[in-house]
Amino acid sequence: MKIFPAIDIKDKKCVRLIKGDFNNKTEYEISPIDQAGKYRDHGFKNLHIVDLDGALTGKTVNLDIIKEIINKFDLKIEIGGGIRNLESITKYTDVGVEKVILGSAAIKDKNFLKEACEKFPNKIALGLDAKDGYLSVSGWKENSNQLTLDYLKEVNEFGASRLIYTDINRDGMKQSPNFSETEKVAEISNCPVIISGGVSSIDDVKKAKGLKNIEGIIVGKAIYDGDIKLDELAKEIDA
């Protein structure tokens, strides 16, 4: 199973939000580039990055940081945050990003998701962020009134290469991921699923390893707050 340490970037800094709330954020002293190097030095090969500036503006605000991380550390990066057009996807793939995560734009416009999957085969990850079973969009500020599983059934044949499922109520809370809902998503998904939101301990990571159609897990706040040590987490990386 792949382990994705997380870096959320806002104003060129590493930050963590509680339930996606920009007014409830923690800033960390270490820069995104130094944090990526720290992950690489511990043996991690994959990285989950969210451009929070991009989520707010719809532009590839931190493209230069992403490019530097890839060039410097040769990490496989999945990037999300305000990616709303093919031009932004092109910019990211051109600098070597492995997977581009489409969230709100894909939920609001299924045709955009389909076109992106066709134009960028094996490069598109679908980000499904849910609250109480319903998908949320626009930085988790709006409820889409779409049930997660119903939406997934509609787009399952489009060709997304990865699905990232986040339970918003768990995100940043360190109360363990919503394994039961994630399993329901993984059961019907045509592509492998990444667990996201609420990882609190190494036990959550070990539990994820036993689930079907799970490609990996994203770990964020628990690393920054010291609840999970990188040496301990690195032992769970699949060779």
Residues paired with residue 79 on neighbouring β-strands, in sequence order? 49, 100
- CATH superfamily of the 2-234 domain: Aldolase class I (3.20.20.70)
Q: What is the mean pLDDT of residues 223-237?
A: 94
Counting Cα atoms < 13 Å in the Cβ hemisphere of 192 gives: 13
Catalytic residue ranges: 8, 129
| Beta bridge pairs of residue 123 | none
Instruction: Give dist(CA 142, CA 91) in Å, integer.
Output: 27
What is the pTM assigned to this prediction?
0.94
Q: What's the rounded Cα separation, in Å, for the pair 218 and 74?
A: 19
pLDDT at 52: 93
Kind of pairing between the strands at 162-167 and 142-147: unpaired
pLDDT higher than threshold 70 for residue 140: no
Burial class, 26, CB count within 10 angstroms (exposed 0-12 / middle 13-18 / buried 19+): middle
| Domain residue spans of the chain | 2-234
Q: How confident is the model at residue 25 (pLDDT cuts 50, 70, 90)?
A: confident
Write the pLDDT tens digit of every residue in 142-190: 677 899 999 999 999 999 999 999 998 887 777 899 999 999 999 999 9
Mean per-residue pLDDT over the chain, rounded: 93
Q: How many CA atoms lie within 13 A of 173 on its CB side?
A: 16
